[in-house]
Amino acid sequence: MLCLADRSFFGFQLWMQAVDTRADLLWRVKKHMRLDCEKRLPDGSYLSRIFPSERDWRRKTNGADVRAITSALGDRNRV
């Protein structure tokens, strides 16, 4: 099963609930979200971690592993 969600729905607790379903997750996140690159992968994506709080992010505790893929929309005015 694949679970898709838009950036308005991202939250650590909701992510963890979706992980518990064993579905593969593909969620957009807001561009200012901190997803530090821990390991770059050959296809250009990278491994990162998400955290339940700012405190956990600073201490690097209670995080969950994620694979981040960056993308951008092309010129919307092109036909």
The answer to the question of residue 12 being in a domain is yes
Print the domain residue range for 52.
2-68
The answer to the question of residue 73 being in a domain is no
Query: Average pLDDT of the chain?
Result: 89
pLDDT exceeds cutoff 60 at 79: no
User: How far apart are the two ends of the chain, measured CA to CA in Å?
Assistant: 33
How many angstroms separate the Cα of 20 from the Cα of each of 24, 32, 70? 10, 26, 25
Residue 7, pLDDT score: 84
Q: Which has the closest alpha carbon to 45: 20, 70, 62?
A: 70
How many angstroms separate the Cα of 17 from the Cα of each of 21, 22, 25, 43, 58? 7, 9, 11, 28, 23
Query: What is the per-residue pLDDT across 33-68, written as a single tens digit (0 to 9) for each?
Result: 889 999 999 999 999 999 999 999 999 999 999 999
Banded model confidence at residue 30, pLDDT cuts 50, 70, 90? confident
Question: Total structural domains in the chain?
Answer: 1
